[in-house]
Amino acid sequence: MTTRRTLLHSAIGGLALAGTGLAGRLAQAALPQGTLDSQRLESLPGKQPLLKRSYRPPNYESPPAAFAQDITPNDQFFVRWHLMNIPQVDAREWRLSIGGDAASNAVEFTLEQLRGEFEPVEVVAVCQCAGNRRGLSEPHVPGVQWGNGAVGNARWRGVRLRDLLARAGLARDAVEIAFAGGDLPALEATPQFVKSIPTWKAVDENTLVAYEMNGAPLPHWNGYPARLVVPGWAATYWTKQVSSIQALGRPLSGFWMSTAYRIPKGKYPLIDRFVSQESDASMPVTEILVNSMITSHSDGQRCAAGRPVVVAGLAWDGGSGIREVEVSIDEGRSWRSAELAPSLGRYSFRGWRYAFTPHARGPQGVMARASSLQGSTQTMELIFNASGYHNNVAQRVALQVV
């Protein structure tokens, strides 16, 4: 554990304020007024201006402009931390230790060893906070009041977690693999952020310990020098600044597993099970639900009667792949297929576009909904849970035809 000495005791040093005017205009209409009043565009060191949701810990979401392409730029990628103290990690001192009671030997790797001793692997995958769009929940729920921007898509490069576990002699009866990062709570009463995933997901060939994002080292705020990449699953499992990996013979307990990131059982069309963490009433979040965004237009935007309008956006799911995106220009009475862009892989954002020509002047709603190859379609009504997870309601923009 080399990083504790270099703790940055304030996560907010070096913040640059960029004013509130633009942020106000980027706001989602249904965010609570307090969230709209307090949000501003701010630059964390090394980042473009992002929408501030909280200061300590640093929670910043991507502005709509970040979704103009299907790969989210590193300097516009959202930032989510639960704890206050985020160390500035020196990669030369950083070590990744792997062991646990369900591994036969404890091993430790430097970043150079990760880069040199294991086969490098790349995957394009969406990293989405389970609480993305929580701020749009009706009724409102507590927690970071995210709009649409607690999600991003990147090309991750690193090593397979299963290759690392093999070097530690993973036991056949390992139930879960647990991860800890370098960040620490401000108060001892706050539990350290430790998460686990079932062994079957840990040894999936797409689950990585990644040291690069879009061809560059991970940004500090996104987990430098290495993080978990668990394609298809909610980002809560994508431990940043990962420093310890433990193979466990029994389920991990603790606040971040037993209390946080859980949903009522049977309410969502999820397929991936995390059986060792299920209780009678609830289960942990697992894969991302099928979802989409309209990125070409925003509410109130004008377009000319009699001229084609090209609506475009992004769609994604938990890894089955996108089957279809449909658009409705009559408030959901009828739907037409959008054209899909080439696929960057089944865990990636998938671009789509749809052209139509409005004739009547006045308000023109445009709705989009995605369906996955696994057979799910976005919902039209929110499936409510008290933590605001898994909001995959079809999006609508209100255009003005002039």
Ligand X SMILES: Nc1nc2c(c(=O)[nH]1)N[C@H]1C(S)=C(S)[C@@H](COP(=O)(O)O)O[C@H]1N2
Q: Which of 64, 26, 30 is nearest to 388 (CA)?
A: 30
Token pair listed for 221: 């705020």
What phi and psi, each to the nearest 5 degrees, are found at residue 208?
-125, 155
Q: x/- string (CB under 5 A) for Mo ion, residues 79-118?
A: ----------------------------------------
- List the single partner that 109 binds among ligand X, Mo ion, none, CB under 5 to 8 Å by kind: none
Residue 235 in contact with ligand X, rule: CB under 6 A: yes
Position with the least CB separation from Mo ion: 129
- Using rule CB under 6 A, residue 289 touches ligand X: no
144 makes contact with ligand X (CB under 6 A) = no
Q: Which stretch binds ligand X (CB under 6 A): 25-33, 48-56, 238-246, 284-292?
A: 238-246
Q: Which stretch binds Mo ion (CB under 5 A): 126-134, 157-165, 224-232, 304-312?
A: 126-134
The count of C-alpha atoms lying within 13 angstroms of the C-alpha of 183, restricted to the half-sphere facing its C-beta, is: 29
Could you tell me which stretch among 13-21, 239-247, 314-322, 364-372 binds ligand X (CB under 6 A)?
239-247
User: Binder to ligand X among 236, 372, 376, 391 (CB under 6 A)?
Assistant: 236
- Indicate which single residue of 238, 268, 274, 354 sits in contact with ligand X (rule: CB under 6 A): 238
Least Å distance, CB 195 to ligand X, is: 8
Binding of residue 47 to ligand X (CB under 6 A): no
Find where tokens 């633009």 sit.
22
The answer to whether the beta carbons of residues 152 and 64 sit under 8 Å apart is: no
Question: Could you tell me which stretch among 40-48, 73-81, 102-110, 375-383 binds ligand X (CB under 6 A)?
Answer: 73-81
Contact 40, 217 (CB under 8 A): no
Q: Cα(331)–Cα(365) distance, rounded to whole angstroms? A: 6
Q: How far apart are CA 152 and CA 63, in angstroms?
A: 11
Interface with ligand X, residue 181, by CB under 6 A:
yes
Q: What binding mask, one character per residue, do residues 157-186 give for Mo ion by CB under 5 A, x or -?
A: ------------------------------
Q: Are 293 and 349 in contact (CB under 8 A)?
A: no
Per the listing, tokens 């942990």 go with 284
Give the amino acid at 230.
V
Among 42, 61, 176, 183, binds ligand X (CB under 6 A): 183
Give the number of residues in contact with ligand X, rule: CB under 6 A.
20
Closest CA to 148 of 53, 75, 69: 53
What's the 3-state SS for 113-148? HHHHHCCCEEEEEEEECCCCCHHHCCCCCCCCCCCC
CA dihedral over 196, 197, 199, 201, signed as positive or negative: negative
Q: Does 129 bind Mo ion (CB under 5 A)?
A: yes
Task: Name the residues that contact Mo ion, by CB under 5 A.
Answer: 129, 235-236
Question: Residues interacting with ligand X, by CB under 6 A?
Answer: 77-83, 127, 129, 181, 183, 193, 222-223, 235-236, 238-241
